[in-house]
């Protein structure tokens, strides 16, 4: 859909909202395309393609608000939508913090071109070839006996935001992905592992066969796992899993959690929670970044945030309403869907790499657990208590000794953050990224 068409639709909708009694309003329009194939044991299992055009409207009447969404873009349908939404807003409970973003904070065009996609939708045959090459390479690894399936996919999307106080902007991007999961077997049983990649541009996507080979080799290395006795020891999260720790940080600094008082970081602003050398940034303007965007979900001009600066927590992720509730200013981290009021969250969240190699990290720790797969992480949002089931490798004298499985590791996120040391092996695969990290001490529950 062309931008001028969307602008016309949203302009008419906001006019309908004002006619229905809105004092202020905003609207979003999403157009998305996705396609993909599933491939297993040399055969095509599934082909999917979808295209959607969704619209959302929020109306504010005094300190009351309501939101509705639709896929009907007809004039009559939109007029009826605005009338219903206005009636809902007038009947809604008051929210003293709701409202549009401050007008003086709105972004203005022309917006920076962040090169967020190549918009080169592959043919079904190309996706099939990619998935097949990935699985074939994995199955060719000696010891691999079966496949859980490979997949190749493509997606693209555009988002338009318009507000009744003068903002209109467009953002969007594309994404290519490939993945595979396989099983290996020896006399002691079977093990499973996987690999994947995801990029905004096809030219940057890892070779499908290389991804498959890596998945196969990782799986074979996990065969004949040993059991560990319960103990306390250093733990290394490899760079495929370390980003999950950033996810827990992101949730804890979300403005909604802070405003509700349900975050283990609610009283930590301005305090050192990591070591001096640790820096974590959230940057919406990274070229070709999976989470990049030229403005936030409310149309506010956004910039980089040094979330953790030399170990110190400097900010929350705030939209306008959350900022008002906390007596702060929005830092342009609003997110927006077609249903409900704006949320908030990270854009491109990155733990900056350290100076040491992965090998050096293991040598420094001497012995401990290398976590390469995990399931069911649990974090108490109020206390930061953390536990997760996992498997991986026990290392001794700075080198991998044996694969291990059926383990639970536990600790407190604040203690884990305080003792975290990053390696220099960053591997960008999405909007949240981190190198492998060493946690100096965690409780390991085994036999």
Domain count of the fold of the chain = 3
> Is the pLDDT reported for residue 109 higher than 90?
no
Q: Do 377 and 395 lie in a common domain?
A: yes
Give me the percent of the chain exceeding a pLDDT of 90: 97
The answer to whether position 110 is within a domain reads no
> Is the pLDDT reported for residue 411 higher than 90?
yes
Please state, rounded to an integer, the average pLDDT across all residues of the chain.
96
Out of 86-90, 142-146, 339-343, 410-414, pick the least confident.
339-343
Crossing angle of helices 75-91 and 3-19, in 10° steps, is: 50
The answer to whether position 354 is within a domain reads yes
CA distance 106 to 166: 9
Which range of residues forms the domain containing residue 215? 124-156+171-221
Residue 339 CB: number of other CB atoms within 10 A?
A: 12
Q: Do 285 and 374 lie in a common domain?
A: yes
Q: Do 141 and 261 lie in a common domain?
A: no
The answer to whether position 363 is within a domain reads yes
What average pLDDT does the segment 421-434 reach? Answer: 96
CA distance 197 to 177: 6
Helices and strands: H and E segment counts in the chain = 9, 19
Q: Is 158 within 8 Å of 173 (Cβ atoms)? A: no
Q: What is the pLDDT of residue 1?
A: 78
Q: What is the pLDDT of residue 142?
A: 97
The answer to whether position 116 is within a domain reads no
The answer to whether position 111 is within a domain reads no
Q: Do 96 and 78 lie in a common domain?
A: yes
Q: Do 198 and 234 lie in a common domain?
A: no
Q: Where are the beta strands (DSSP E) in 132-259?
A: 144-163, 168-186, 189-199, 231-237
Q: Do 407 and 324 lie in a common domain?
A: yes
What average pLDDT does the segment 51-80 reach? Answer: 96
Q: Do 393 and 247 lie in a common domain?
A: yes
Q: Do 292 and 438 lie in a common domain?
A: yes
Q: Do 76 and 149 lie in a common domain?
A: no
| pLDDT tens digits for range 272-316 | 999 999 999 999 999 999 999 999 999 999 999 999 999 999 999
Question: HSE of 7 in the Cβ direction (CA atoms, 13 Å)?
Answer: 8
> Is the pLDDT reported for residue 172 higher than 90?
yes
Residues facing 349 on adjacent strands = 282, 432
The answer to whether position 55 is within a domain reads yes
> Is the pLDDT reported for residue 447 higher than 90?
no
Q: Cis link prior to 193 (omega < 30° from 0)? A: no
Q: Do 57 and 145 lie in a common domain?
A: no
Q: Do 189 and 266 lie in a common domain?
A: no
| pLDDT tens digits for range 385-402 | 999 999 999 999 989 999
| pLDDT tens digits for range 244-253 | 999 999 999 9
Q: Do 236 and 194 lie in a common domain?
A: no
> Is the pLDDT reported for residue 440 higher than 90?
yes
DSSP for 79-92, please give it. Answer: HHHHHHHHHHHHHS
DSSP for 257-308, please give it. Answer: HHHHT--TTTT-TTSB-S-TT--EEE-TT-TT-TT--SB-TTSBB---EEEE
CA distance 402 to 14: 63
> Is the pLDDT reported for residue 221 higher than 90?
yes
Q: Which residues contact 243 (CB under 8 A, 6 or more apart)?
A: 430, 432, 433, 434
Question: HSE of 352 in the Cβ direction (CA atoms, 13 Å)?
Answer: 17
Closest CA to 172 of 188, 190, 160: 160
Q: Is 157 within 8 Å of 30 (Cβ atoms)? A: yes
The answer to whether position 56 is within a domain reads yes
Q: What is the pLDDT of residue 339?
A: 87
What is the token pair recorded at 134? 């990935």
Alpha helices in 118-254 (DSSP H): 124-139, 208-221, 243-252
The answer to whether position 212 is within a domain reads yes
Q: What is the pLDDT of residue 186?
A: 96
> What is the model's pTM?
0.95
Assign residue 100 the CATH number of its domain. Answer: 3.30.2290.10
CA distance 333 to 165: 19
Q: Looking at the chain, how many residues does it have?
A: 447
| pLDDT tens digits for range 232-242 | 999 999 999 99
What average pLDDT does the segment 127-146 reach? Answer: 98
């Amino acid at each position: 859909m062309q931008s001028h068409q969307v602008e016309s639709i949203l302009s008419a909708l906001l006019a309908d909202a004002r006619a229905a009694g809105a004092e202020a309003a905003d609207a979003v329009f999403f157009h998305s395309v996705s396609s993909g194939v599933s491939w297993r044991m040399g055969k095509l299992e599934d082909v999917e393609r979808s295209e959607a055009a969704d619209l959302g409207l929020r109306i504010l009447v005094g300190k009351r608000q309501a939101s509705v969404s639709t896929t009907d873009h007809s004039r009559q349908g939109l007029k009826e939508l605005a009338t219903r939404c206005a009636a809902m807003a007038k009947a809604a409970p008051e929210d003293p913090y709701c409202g549009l973003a401050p007008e003086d904070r709105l972004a203005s065009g022309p917006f920076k071109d962040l090169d967020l996609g190549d918009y080169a939708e592959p043919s079904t045959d190309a996706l099939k070839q990619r998935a097949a090459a990935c699985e074939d390479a994995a199955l060719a690894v000696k010891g691999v006996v079966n496949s859980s399936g490979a997949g190749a996919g493509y997606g693209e999307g555009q988002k338009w935001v318009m507000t009744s106080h003068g903002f209109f902007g467009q953002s969007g991007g594309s994404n290519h992905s490939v993945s595979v999961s396989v099983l290996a077997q020896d006399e002691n049983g079977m093990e499973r592992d996987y690999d994947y990649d995801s990029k905004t541009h096809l030219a940057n996507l890892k070779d499908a066969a290389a991804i498959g080979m890596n998945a196969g080799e990782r799986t074979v290395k996990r065969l004949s796992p040993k059991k560990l006795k319960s103990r306390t020891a250093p733990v290394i999260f490899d760079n495929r899993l370390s980003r999950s720790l950033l996810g827990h940080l992101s949730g804890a600094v979300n403005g909604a959690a802070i405003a509700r008082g349900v975050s283990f970081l609610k009283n930590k602003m301005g305090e050192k929670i990591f070591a001096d050398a640790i820096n974590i940034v959230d940057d919406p303007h990274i070229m070709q970044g999976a989470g990049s965007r030229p403005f936030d979900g409310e149309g506010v001009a956004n910039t980089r945030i040094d979330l953790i600066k030399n170990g110190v927590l400097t900010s929350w992720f705030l939209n306008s309403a959350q900022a008002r509730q906390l007596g702060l200013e929005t830092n342009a981290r609003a997110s927006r869907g077609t249903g409900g009021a704006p949320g908030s969250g990270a854009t491109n969240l990155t733990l900056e790499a350290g100076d040491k190699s992965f090998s050096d990290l293991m040598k420094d720790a001497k012995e401990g657990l290398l976590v390469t797969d995990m399931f069911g992480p649990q974090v108490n949002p109020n206390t930061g208590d953390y536990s997760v089931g996992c498997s991986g490798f026990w290392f001794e004298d700075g080198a991998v000794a044996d694969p291990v499985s059926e383990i639970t590791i536990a600790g407190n996120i604040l203690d884990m953050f305080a003792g975290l040391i990053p390696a220099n092996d960053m591997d960008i695969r999405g909007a949240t990224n981190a190198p492998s990290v060493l946690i100096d001490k965690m409780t390991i529950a085994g036999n």
